[in-house]
């Protein structure tokens, strides 16, 4: 039996298996978590301090910074952007 994925790209494989959206969401979340952590380090902001700035709990910040937790709302992203003095920009490419 011939493997249907031989010669195809990894993106094609993910698409065919119905995994593309999940893989992209995970990648985006990892990037966001990294960028937020970088900004926190740059400004010397602790998780507890960020939670206070966002008017949320420390556990919410932990979930926000967890690259494996892809359930994040636009409101949470906007709140962290405001807390860090940044603008949230979303666009379709």
User: Going from the N-terminus, what domains does the chain have, and what CATH number goes with each?
Assistant: 24-83 (1.10.260.40)
pLDDT band, residue 64 (cuts 50/70/90): very high
Question: How far is it, in rounded angstroms, from Cα 52 to Cα 28?
Answer: 25
Rounded to two decimals, the pTM is: 0.79
Q: How far apart are CA 44 and CA 14, in angstroms?
A: 39
pLDDT tops 80 at residue 58:
yes
pLDDT over 90 (residue 26): no
Query: How much is the pLDDT for 66?
Result: 95
């Amino acid at each position: 039996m011939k493997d249907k994925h031989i010669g195809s790209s990894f993106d094609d494989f993910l698409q065919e298996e119905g995994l593309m959206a999940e893989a992209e969401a995970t990648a985006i979340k990892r990037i966001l978590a990294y960028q937020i952590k970088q900004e926190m380090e740059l400004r010397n902001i602790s998780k507890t301090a960020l939670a206070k700035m966002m008017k949320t709990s420390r556990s919410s910040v932990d979930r926000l910074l967890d690259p494996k937790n892809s359930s994040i709302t636009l409101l949470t992203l906007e709140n962290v952007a405001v807390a860090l003095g940044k603008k949230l920009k979303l666009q379709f490419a």
